[in-house]
DNA sequence: CATGAATGAGAATTCATTCAT
DNA sequence: CATGAATGAATTCTCATTCAT
């Protein structure tokens, strides 16, 4: 494909990955603004100028990072869902597990970075668009799974959206608290409790 | 007592409030870093230098803001709890309502600012300390209320901590999603759904 | 003299002294630039605004301080000279003693402040004028005393100026080293050694 | 060895020298505080931001300047001592000459800057450490040379320290007066008079 | 592709001075 | 006289971005 006669084979793809990964690391410690090009470059073991060869702007690196986090989450989710079998309830629990796998490939750096991304979404429209899309996607997926559960039990799906919102809120909230108020959540809290929460939300109507 | 030397009366208290309020406004739009002293001053209608007369550093304004948000939350919570009567279940629902009163005195500015504070907690130890304390306080309070509910029903309080964690996570997560992915959560989602979530979490044990 | 009918008796004189003294203290710790009006005011126990009631500018306080240091030095010198009796050699030694009385009213603060004044003289013409006048006065006085010694011994006064310059240089240099490189000069160095230096300088011609 | 990635060759060493030299020039006119980054940059013909690329802080430039002045003084001293031959008295006179060579490579800028450094030593611990080390080094060297002279004459070296202190004080004091009260010292004062002073200090004991 | 110097537009912060009370 | 808030210019330092090599 490349018209390059001989020359050096392009290493742009890997370089971009390295740079995005360096931003992830630095950002999880310093936030986005304080993640300077110089710091990111040092973290990646590259010269500062090189970052602007591979990315036009610093924001572009952030965008790439957000896309990568989302893509990995989607990939992980797909894997778990396909492994969970056909039962709707199991599928929903797989959804939860895929998100709260804090010790899996979603390392602490990513959790902290994700929280920082959330704050950047407050002010950067481009980031907000991606973030919103990611949340909306999660919500839609959760809603479908919740609806399937309800249908299976012959119940109305009227509340599926709200229940999905509760689930996604709790997941995102757990990330936030984990990163911003470390040590406050009980150990091993996430998976079992969220699972129970899901179960509870699916119980028969409660007078509210 | 020192009747000599009256001089100019101090207005520091009000000025500080004005400045903190200006930070709240600006920060909810621009994040913390982009909330420059110049912008905050303009928002407050003050000269930039004056901000550093009333606060040593910009971070000090942020600290004051966090303290104010927390204090107001505590005050609102106390009011609702005392109005809720003695039934444990009602108390717990009052706890939820006090937090998700997004349209009440917890305006959208505050919600967005709180999310930004969470991200700053990732990197600023002083902010993290306050944020962590606030979350820990909420968790402790929720745990006590959950435990009371469980005891009333003659059940074990073993899971009170985890249930409280789910409740607080969902509340904080709702704030986050509300501010960072606006429009994704169903309208009027918060109160009724979280109430249902609470009810669900308190249901009899589910195999997890 | 005052046309003031009753009112408060003016305390300007004392206030000015207090302010000048506060500058002395602060400056000996922080240098001139870092001796802010706020710091000086705090040191004096006064409100910042009051300093500009008693002095037009900050530099004016510095000028007053320099004048005070010089005046006190002159007063001390006069006292010692008149106490020294009529012998020229004794007079010259009294001159040295009056300057190096580091433990007397020339406290460490004053020594450090004097060094700072010297550096300010490099850039502030007004200060330089005063500083130069003070040094020139010392040199002239020293020269006269040296000349008297030489004449008494029936020797030429041709070198009186150079000898005086050596004496004054050594005195000022001792201040400088004392303040800027504390601990390097031998204890109790000043008086006896400078006395010996004077004696040496007055010895019969040495081939140089 | 890493033959790959040549890139732009570093010119940091020369740039740093230029910047240090610019500080020397500006500081000798304006003092340290008024030697702003902008002024230094203009003097060096560089963009202000570049100074902070090559030095972390303004103080770091000052430190580099002090080190350079001291290093040059040491080099000049070594050269003169080795040229002076083995006679102790000649060595001591070479010591004096090396310091007071005000017209040689120790230009007026350096003399004024050195006085300003002395004042900064009053308040900046890092500067004080370097300044003190420089003075202590001079004192130690002078003491050794004085002691050699005394021993040669079969006399006690008991007063070597004090005599050295007088010599160093007079030298530093001459710099101070030269820069801060220009025109007061007799022309051509330094070398011959200090030489005579040394001679005088080495004379046989005088009752003090 | 890669390096690292260079730029310049802000950023927070400081501070002498003014002035309303 | 005294107080302390207010101003605004100046200062150091930061940092994304550009570009010569």
Kindly report the three-state secondary structure assignment for every residue of B57-93.
CHHHHHHHHHHHHHHHHHHHHHHHHHHCCCCHHHHHH
Write the pLDDT tens digit of every residue in B62-92.
999 999 999 999 999 999 999 988 899 999 9
User: What pLDDT does A62 receive?
Assistant: 97
How far apart are the CA of D20 and the nearest CA of chain C, in angstroms?
A: 19
Pairwise CB contact (< 8 Å): B166 & A194: yes
Give residues with Cβ within 8 angstroms of B46, minimum separation 6: B15, B18, B19, B22
Q: Pick out chain D residues at pLDDT < 50.
A: 1-4, 205-208
Instruction: State the Cα angle at B159 between B156 and B160, rounded to 5°.
Output: 90
CA of C47: nucleotide with nearest C1': F3
Q: How many CB pairs under 8 A join A and B?
A: 213
- Low pLDDT (below 70) residues in chain C: 1-9, 101-106, 188-190, 203-208
In whole angstroms, what is the distance from residue C184 CA to residue D128 CA? 12
Q: Which residues of D touch C202 (CB under 8 A)?
A: 200
Residue D2's pLDDT is: 43
Cα separations in angstroms, C42 against B1, C4, C23, C68, D165: 21, 30, 10, 21, 38
Can you tell me the distance from the alpha carbon of D195 to that of D98, in angstroms, rounded to the nearest whole number? 12
DSSP state of A157: -
Q: What is the pLDDT of residue C9?
A: 65
Residue % of chain A over a pLDDT of 90: 62
Q: Could you tell me the residue ranges of all domains in chain D? A: 1-56, 61-203
Q: Is D102 on the interface with C (CB under 8 A)?
A: no
Chain A residue with the nearest C-alpha to that of B127: A180
Residue numbers in B near A176 (CB within 8 A): 118, 169, 172-173, 176
Helices H / strands E in chain B, number of each: 9, 0
Q: Within 10 A of B110 (CB to CB), how many other CB atoms are there?
A: 21
**B194 — pLDDT class (breaks 50, 70, 90):** confident
B26 near B58, Cβ under 8 Å? no
The answer to whether the Cβ–Cβ distance between B123 and A29 falls below 8 Å is: yes
pLDDT value of residue C206? 40
Q: Does the pLDDT at position B206 exceed 60?
A: no
Q: How far apart are CA A75 and CA B25, in angstroms?
A: 38
Instruction: Identify the three-state secondary structure at position C49.
Output: helix
CA of B194, closest CA in chain A: separation in Å?
7
Does A5 score more than 50 pLDDT? no
Given a cut of 50, whether residue A1 has pLDDT beyond it is no
Cβ D119 vs Cβ D179: under 8 Å: no
Q: How far apart are CA B9 and CA B94, in angstroms?
A: 42
CB contact under 8 A, A193 and B166: yes
Average pLDDT score over residue span A148-176: 89
Chain A: give the shortest CA distance to residue B45, in Å. Answer: 23
The band of B105, judged by pLDDT with boundaries at 50, 70 and 90, is: low
Structural domain A1-56, CATH architecture: Orthogonal Bundle (1.10)
In this predicted model, what pLDDT tens digit does every residue of A82-135 receive, in sequence order?
Answer: 998 889 999 999 999 888 765 555 588 999 999 999 999 999 999 999 999 999
Of C169, C174, C140, C124, the closest CA to residue D175 belongs to C169
Which helix (DSSP H) or strand (DSSP E) does residue C165 occupy?
helix C160-180
Please check whether residue B170 touches A, CB under 8 A: yes
- Contact of C62 with chain D, judged by CB distance below 8 Å, is answered with no
CB neighbour burial string for D60-95, b if at least 16 within 10 angstroms, e if fewer: bbbbbbbebbbeebeebbeebbeebeeebbebbbbb
User: Are D132 and C174 an interchain contact pair (Cβ–Cβ within 8 Å)?
Assistant: no
Residues of chain A with C-beta less than 8 angstroms from the C-beta of B195:
208
Chain D residues with CB under 8 Å of C159 CB are 193, 196
Q: Taking residues B35-57, what's their average pLDDT?
A: 96
Minimal-distance CA residue of chain A relative to B200:
A200
Q: Please give the residue of chain C at the shortest CA–CA distance from D119.
A: C116
CA of residue B14 to C1' of nucleotide E14, angstroms? 23
Write out residues 11-40 of A within 8 Å (CB-CB) of B.
Answer: 28-34
Of A30, A33, A181, the CB nearest to B136: A181
pLDDT of D11 reads 85
End-to-end alpha carbon distance in chain D: 69
Nearest CA in chain D to C34: D33
Closest residue (CA to C1') to nucleotide E4 in the complex: D8
- Give chain C positions within 8 Å (CB) of D182: 128, 132
Contacts of C29 in chain D (CB under 8 A): 122-123
Q: Looking up tokens 């299976």, which residue turns up?
A: A152
- The pLDDT score that the predictor gives to residue B187 is 72
Task: Show which subunits contact B, needing at least 3 CB pairs below 8 angstroms.
Answer: A
**Whether A172 and B173 lie within 8 Å, measured CB to CB:** yes
Interchain proximity A132–B202, CB inside 8 Å: no
- Of all residues in chain B, the one with the smallest CA distance to A140 is B184
Coil, helix or strand for C13?
Answer: helix
What pLDDT is attached to residue A52? 96
Closest-CA distance of chain D to residue C184, Å: 6
Alpha-carbon torsion D75, D77, D78, D79, what sign?
positive
* Mean pLDDT for the stretch of residues A169-183: 92
Would you call A116 and B122 a contact, using CB atoms and an 8 Å cutoff? yes
- Tokens, residue B141: 């309070």
Asked if D162's CB is within 8 angstroms of C192's CB, the reply is yes
Shortest CA to C1' contact from B14: nucleotide: F5
Residue B102, chain A, CB below 8 Å: the answer is no
User: What would the CATH number be for the domain defined by B61-203?
Assistant: 1.10.357.10
Q: Which nucleotides of F are covered by protein (CB under 7 A)?
A: 1-21
For an interface test with D, give the residue of C128, C169, C189 to mutate (most D CBs within 10 A): C169
Q: Which residues in chain D are closer than 8 Å to C165, comparing Cβ atoms?
A: 174, 185-186, 189, 193
How much is the pLDDT for D105?
A: 52
80-99 of A, contacting B, C-beta below 8 A: none
Q: Report which of C189, B97, B202 is spatially closest to residue D166, judged by C-alpha positions.
A: C189
CB A197 within 8 A of CB B193: no
Residue pLDDT, tens place only, B121-150: 999 999 999 999 999 999 999 999 999 999
Q: Is B183 in contact with A132 (Cβ distance < 8 A)?
A: yes
Q: Which residues of C touch D179 (CB under 8 A)?
A: 118, 122
Rounded to whole angstroms, the distance from the CA of residue A58 to the C1' of nucleotide E1 is: 19
Closest CA to A86 of A149, A137, A143: A149
Evaluate whether B1-56 and B61-203 have a shared fold: no
Contact D189 C162 (CB under 8 A): yes
């Amino acid at each position: 494909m490349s018209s390059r006669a001989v020359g050096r084979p392009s290493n742009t793809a890997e370089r971009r990955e390295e740079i995005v990964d360096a931003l992830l690391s630095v950002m999880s410690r310093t936030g986005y603004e304080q993640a300077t090009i110089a710091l990111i470059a040092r973290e990646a073991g590259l010269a500062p100028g090189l970052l602007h060869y591979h990315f036009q702007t610093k924001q572009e690196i952030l965008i790439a990072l957000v896309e990568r986090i989302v893509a990995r989450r989607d990939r992980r989710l797909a894997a778990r869902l396909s492994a969970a079998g056909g039962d709707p309830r199991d599928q929903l629990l797989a959804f939860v597990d895929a998100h709260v796998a804090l010790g899996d490939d979603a390392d602490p750096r990513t959790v902290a970075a994700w929280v920082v991304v959330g704050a950047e979404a407050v002010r950067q429209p481009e980031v907000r668009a991606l973030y919103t899309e990611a949340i909306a996607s999660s919500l839609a997926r959760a809603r479908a799974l919740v609806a399937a559960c309800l249908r299976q039990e012959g119940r109305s799906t009227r509340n599926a959206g709200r229940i999905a919102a509760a689930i996604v809120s709790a997941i995102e909230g757990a990330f936030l608290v984990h990163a911003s108020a470390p040590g406050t959540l009980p150990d091993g809290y996430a998976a079992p409790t969220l699972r129970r929460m899901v179960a509870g939300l699916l119980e028969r109507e409660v007078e509210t």
